[in-house]
Amino acid sequence: MKTLFRNAVIASPTEASCLVVEDDRIVYVGSEQNAPAADQQNAPAADQQVDLAGRRVLPGFIDGHMHLLLFGASLSKIDLSQCKNIEDIRNTIRSGAAQRPHAQRLFCSGWMHSMTDGQALSSMIDDLDTRPIFIDSKDLHSAWCNSAALADLGVDATTPNPEGGDIARDKDGRPSGLLSEAGAVTIVWPHTARVASVAEKQGYVRNAVAAYNAAGYTGMVEMATDENIWETVVQLRKQEFVPIRLAMHWIITPAATEAEVLSQVDRAIALHAEYNKTTSPNFRIAGIKVICDGVVDACTAALSEPYSTAVASPAPLWGAGILAKVVQRADGAGLQCALHAIGDEAVRLAINALETVKPADAVSRRHRIEHLEVTAPGDAERLAALGITASIQPVHADPTILRAWPRLLGPERVRRAFAYREFHDKGANVAIGTDSPTAPHLPLRNLYTATTRRSAREPQCEETVNPGFALTLVQAIQAATAGSAYSCFADDITGSLEVGKKADFVVVDMDWDAEKLLEARVCETYFDGKRVFSSDAK
């Protein structure tokens, strides 16, 4: 089946107005005058033509960092992202609870520490409902629970803090409502996944993929894969077609012994041996994910100097020795390492760990550092020298969610925040993602903040965040397509519109102007040459 898409503005290395797709591949990109036609020898006519009415055609977006099951689940959670204070939160939960009379548990998302002045006590929400209430922090590094949720988790005064995590307690040692870092990842996440049925979890994935297709995505990099997520997707793919390319990073969490830590890496290695780029290009284990620190808003990001509020900077969640062993084990088996590092001390730790592998291996393996929100001068050069991808999420640079940063970090460090242009200019590969559901998954909004450093959440806001570090529109789109494809070894089949590559593309009604990205609209998404989303579909 050959289809000619004409009357378009094609984003390609050369000026083009049409492309021809045969089955799942691009076979022509160029002018309409030179396109294969019926009267040309050795160039069979297209079976059908599609007039794109002058719209732009971009490579399908690839979310370079997201959380698949959590995002799918978030679509049905009580959304707290627009709340300003505790009263807003209480009113929103109360209203959401009334709309869910038959739910056994209430799940919420989008809470930020600044909304409640850093407090998260069970007592603040216990009177709202007798059912367990689980509240994900916006950054997913914490979970706020009412007393019923703590009981549902089986967390009490005798429950020890997990390695690399914390259970907040009152003066008598009883859990007070907040579980952080590994407390959220290894206690709350597995429990909430366990109490969901198989059908519910498959529905989360199905809904997530549909939402991503509608936003213009044809690929995603899942950044906290565990047995629960893995088995859900494995079974769903056996039952039905899943129209997205999935590269997944197995989560490695701190443990009491080195053997326990490395056994997690070995599990990822075993899965990678079966599900890799050669055997399963659309669904594979690309590597591992290690969380090296927390987040600035909770004062858990690891900084080289104390917070400006006199709060001591916490140590990274991993020691240099064990992190190096994890990296070397994964690298030696051909896996990519994705290291979450937000504060400059964690960034230094992450680069140092990746530097312990053989230089040739480091570059060829395309290791990555996630977030890179507060970096030091010289970090960008080190990223480039080691072939480390700067995996960034511009949506986190939205000025309306960073108003506490000057108080927490001081002006000097704030001026170093989100140094995207520096990463690009020094030669590092830049991959753009959203970190959904910590932030909206919509790529055009993400690109708006990447290029203007203004707020997509509150477009009327005139504040900016370090506009000198803004990417150009071309750079941002490349990072959200080719950069993300390169970051997960998919650049040979997708990420750009070239002959021989997969026909993954998105049709967008947009002006080529960064200031107007919020007005742009995704019209159609094509995956493997098949339309998987149309804004006109009923």
Phi and psi at residue 136, to the nearest 5°: -80, 135
Distance between CA atoms of residues 440 and 27, nearest Å: 34
pLDDT in tens, 400-419: 999 999 999 999 999 999 99
In sequence order, the β-bridge partners of residue 165 are: 181
Supply 510's token pair. Answer: 């947009």
By CB neighbour count within 10 A (0-12 exposed, 13-18 middle, 19+ buried), where does 470 fall?
buried
- Are the CB atoms for 386 and 354 separated by under 8 Å? yes
Of the chain, the percentage scoring pLDDT greater than 90 comes to: 90
AA identity, residue 180: S
Mean pLDDT (the chain, rounded): 95
Distances (CA, A) of 475 to 11, 154, 372, 497: 13, 48, 18, 16
The answer to whether residue 173 scores a pLDDT higher than 70 is: yes
Q: Specify the range with the lowest mean pLDDT, choosing from 306-310, 433-437, 472-476, 517-521.
A: 306-310
Q: How confident is the model at residue 37 (pLDDT cuts 50, 70, 90)?
A: low
Secondary structure, 3-state, 398-433: CHHHCCCHHHHHCHHHHCCECCHHHHHHCCCCEEEC
Residue 416's identity, in one-letter code, is R
Cβ contacts of 162 within 8 Å, gap of 6 or more: 182, 183, 186, 187, 253, 254
Q: What is the pLDDT of residue 42?
A: 44
Tell me the per-residue pLDDT of 214-255, one tens digit each, with 9 for 90 and over: 999 999 999 999 999 999 999 999 999 999 999 999 999 999
pLDDT tops 80 at residue 360: no
| 50-88 residue pLDDT tens | 999 999 999 999 999 999 999 999 999 999 999 999 999
Here the tokens at position 195 are 């109490």
CA nearest 112: which of 150, 133, 82? 82
Adjacent-strand bridge partners of 144: 135, 178
Helix (H) or strand (E) holding 285: strand 283-291
Task: Provide mean pLDDT across the span 346-370.
Answer: 92
Q: Which residues contact 195 (CB under 8 A, 6 or more apart)?
A: 104, 105, 152
The pLDDT, as a whole number, for residue 537 is: 67
Asked if residue 93 has pLDDT above 70, the reply is: yes
Ordered domains of the chain (ranges, CATH): 2-60+501-534 (2.30.40.10), 76-194 (3.10.310.70)
pLDDT of 450 reads 99
Q: What is the pLDDT of residue 120?
A: 96
Q: What single letter denotes the amino acid at residue 252? A: I
Beta bridge partners of 524: 507, 534
- State the DSSP code for 494: S
pLDDT score for 451: 99
Q: Is the pLDDT of residue 383 over 50?
A: yes
Q: Which residues lie across from 432 on neighbouring strands? A: 392
Q: Give the per-residue SS3 of 497-530.
A: CCCCCECCEEEEECCCCHHHHHHCEEEEEEECCE
What's the CA dihedral at 358, 361, 366, 369 to 10 degrees?
Answer: -20
C-alpha–C-alpha distance, residues 44 and 33, integer Å: 15
Q: Measure the CA–CA gap between 433 and 66, rounded to whole angstroms.
A: 7
Please report the pLDDT score of residue 359 as a whole number.
76
Mean pLDDT of the 258-270 span: 98
**For residues 237 and 33, which has the higher predicted lDDT (pLDDT)?**
237
Local confidence band at 41 (pLDDT 50, 70, 90 cut-offs): very low
Backbone phi, then psi, for 84, in 5-degree steps? -110, -25
Please state the rounded mean pLDDT for residues 37-51: 65
Per-residue model confidence (pLDDT) at position 40 = 47
What is the tens place of the pLDDT at every residue in 144-158? Answer: 999 999 999 999 999
pLDDT tens readout for residues 274-323: 999 999 999 999 999 999 999 999 999 999 999 999 889 999 999 999 99
What is the rounded distance in angstroms from the CA atom of residue 334 to the CA atom of residue 355? 16
pLDDT in tens, 276-290: 999 999 999 999 999
Contacts of 484 (CB under 8 A, 6+ apart): 61, 62, 63, 64, 219, 221, 431, 432, 433, 495
- Quickly state the pLDDT bin for 33 (edges 50, 70, 90): confident
